[in-house]
Each structure stands twice: as structure tokens, then as C-alpha cells.
């Protein structure tokens, strides 16, 4: 049962990990390969995933499905460039994907999808909007809308949306994650974890029926959260006995350094150019 079943390659991230002419940008995109399917999870901010993929020897034309973690610009900005290269394919997203996401950081500004739905459809996106969890390949699930259950995961107070001209704290209902079942347990792949990392893990266990969590990779959004949430989340992660933890993107470097100290050999940096075949044989 030790054979690798899942390969994850980081195509866009804030940092570059290997000197191969790769470009870093504030954003996230990862290629998830299973035995029978290639899934692109997000597209980064500015379309550098195309050049990075070429430099890494990754063929994006053979991607079967695009899954969008949520409607922020740093995960969606590469959609048009990718669609022009790839052409028509299914694109999974939450129905709130195109709502008016804003940030009040520095000054209020729009941080939602930088393209309209019609333009992306003209470029080949066949949107499949889902509130519900969905198995898109054998053992690979989209989380669906993640119920907010913990009392300490309240979302990022700097993020808001507009509804009928009124400003509301952005609930980011569109935050989706990927859940992959491997022989050693779940691998959870995060976009920005706006739904709360603990909520996302609990939803993964419920949706898949698998309790053992082998690993977590992606943006945890732990850096910008209150200290009480950070500490409660770290304690929860420790209780999972993770064998692989690769937080990147909105986790922020200070929090990554903290997690590296706490999780020791289970911790992995996951910048552009990193690639993980899971479960790791040991």
C-alpha cells in the first residue's frame, strides 16, 4: 500500500524554490495528478503559471479539469491565459465565485475575479457551480461549501463584499478545498482556507468518511488571523498527527517558520517548483 497515488506540483506561489527561471507572484496554482486525471487547482495571479509550467516540464494542455478554490484575484488571474492555451474544459467553482469580493487593506479595493463569466466561457470555461461536495475523480473530492462550525474561526475582518450597495463582512462561502483519499489517509489541498482550516478538515472527514489526515498543502490564511485562532489551529493540527504539512501562500513566512519549528520533519516548504509525490515513501 506504499505506492504513490498523488502528485502535486506548485506552479504559482509567492516564492520560488529552485533556480530554473521560474517566476514567483502573490498567488497560488497547483497541479494535482492522480492515476487517471490531471486537475489544475487555481491559476495564480498574472498568468505566470504558463511559463512556469514550461520550465518545469508540465504539459498544461493535458489538464482534464480546472477547480477554482475561490473568487480572489490571486487565484483566478491566470484563468484567461490558461483557457487560451487549454481550450474548452470543465471548471468547478462555488455559485458565489463571481460575487464582489473587496479588501479594506490600505484602502478599499476590488479583489475579485478580474474577468466576467461570459469572457471566460468564450475562452472555453464550462462552469459547473456546486454548493455540494462532489467526487470529480475516484477518491478526489471537492469540499463543497464548508460549514462554519468552530467558534474561533471568524474569517478575515479586512475582507468585505457589497450587497445591494451595503458593505458586509465577506463570508467567502465560495472557499473550496480538494480532498484526496490515499492509502495512508487524506491529503487536503487548500486555496486560502477562508472557511477556516479546522472547519475544512472536519468537512473533509465528514465528506470522505476517512478520519486519518495524512497531509495538508496550500494557503492556510493563518498568518493574518488572531493569535488565539493561530494557537487553537496549531493545537488541532498537532492532534491530527500529520505526516506532511506544506503550508504556503497566505500562511505568510513568519507563520511558516513557526509551523516548521512545531512540525519538524513533517513540515515542507512549498514554493513554485516544488513537487510532492504522496504518500511519501519512508
By beta carbon distance, the residue nearest Fe ion is 192
CA distance 269 to 273: 11
CA gap 55, 172 in Å, rounded: 34
Q: How far is the CB of 138 from Fe ion (least distance, A)?
A: 29
C-alpha cell read off for 215: 497531509
Residue with cell string 475516484: 138
Q: Using an 8 Å Cβ cutoff, are 159 and 169 in contact? A: yes
Q: How far is the CB of 139 from Fe ion (least distance, A)?
A: 26
**Residues of the shown chain interacting with Fe ion in the complex, contacts defined by CB under 5 A:** 72, 74, 192, 250
Q: What is the rounded CA–CA span in Å between residue 127 and residue 131?
A: 13
Q: Nearest approach, Cβ of 31 to Fe ion (angstroms)?
A: 17
Q: In the complex with Fe ion, which residue's Cβ is closer, 74 or 153?
A: 74
Which CB sits closer to Fe ion, 74 or 145? 74
Angle between helices 48-56 and 79-86 in degrees, nearest 10:
50
Q: Are strands 166-169 and 65-67 parallel, antiparallel or unpaired?
A: unpaired
- Residue with Cβ nearer Fe ion (5 or 91): 91
Which residues face 219 on adjacent strands? 248
Task: Kindly tell me which of 12 and 32 has the beta carbon lying closer to Fe ion.
Answer: 12
Residue 251 DSSP label: G
Cβ closest to Fe ion, residue 246 vs residue 250: 250
- Nearest-5° angle of CA 36, CA 47, CA 112? 100
Q: Which is nearer to Fe ion, 139 or 218 (CB)?
A: 218
Parallel, antiparallel or unpaired: strands 89-93 and 65-67: parallel
Comparing CB distances to Fe ion, the nearer of 124 and 155 is 155
- Nearest distance from residue 199's CB to Fe ion, in Å? 15
| Residue 18 CB, nearest approach to Fe ion (Å) | 22
CA distance 198 to 150: 7
In angstroms, the CA 205 to CA 201 distance is: 6
Amino acid at each position: 500500500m506504499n505506492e504513490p497515488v498523488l502528485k502535486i506540483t506548485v506552479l504559482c506561489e509567492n516564492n520560488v524554490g529552485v533556480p530554473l527561471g521560474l517566476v514567483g507572484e502573490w498567488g497560488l496554482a497547483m497541479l494535482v495528478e492522480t492515476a487517471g486525471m490531471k486537475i489544475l487547482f487555481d491559476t495564480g495571479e498574472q498568468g505566470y503559471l504558463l511559463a512556469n509550467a514550461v520550465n518545469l516540464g508540465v504539459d498544461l494542455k493535458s489538464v482534464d479539469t480546472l477547480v477554482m478554490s475561490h473568487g480572489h484575484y490571486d487565484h483566478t488571474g491566470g484563468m484567461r491565459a490558461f483557457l487560451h492555451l487549454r481550450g474548452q474544459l470543465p471548471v468547478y467553482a462555488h455559485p458565489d465565485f463571481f460575487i464582489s469580493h473587496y479588501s479594506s487593506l490600505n484602502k478599499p479595493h476590488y479583489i475579485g475575479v478580474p474577468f466576467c463569466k461570459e469572457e471566460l466561457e468564450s475562452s472555453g470555461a464550462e462552469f459547473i457551480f456546486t454548493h455540494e461536495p462532489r467526487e470529480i475523480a475516484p477518491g478526489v473530492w471537492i469540499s463543497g461549501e464548508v460549514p462554519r462550525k468552530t467558534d474561533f474561526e471568524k474569517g478575515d475582518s479586512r475582507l468585505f463584499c457589497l450587497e445591494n450597495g451595503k458593505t458586509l463582512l465577506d463570508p467567502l462561502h465560495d472557499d473550496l478545498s480538494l480532498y484526496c483519499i490515499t492509502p495512508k489517509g487524506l491529503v487536503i489541498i487548500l486555496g486560502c482556507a477562508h472557511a477556516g482550516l479546522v472547519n475544512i478538515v472536519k468537512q473533509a472527514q465528514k465528506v470522505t468518511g476517512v478520519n486519518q489526515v495524512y497531509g495538508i498543502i496550500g494557503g492556510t490564511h493563518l498568518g493574518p488571523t488572531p493569535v488565539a485562532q493561530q494557537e487553537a489551529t496549531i493545537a488541532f493540527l498537532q492532534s491530527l498527527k500529520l505526516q506532511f504539512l506544506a503550508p504556503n501562500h497566505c500562511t505568510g513566512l513568519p507563520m511558516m517558520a513557526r509551523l516548521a519549528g512545531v512540525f519538524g520533519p513533517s513540515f515542507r516548504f512549498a514554493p513554485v517548483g516544488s513537487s510532492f509525490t504522496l504518500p511519501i515513501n519512508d
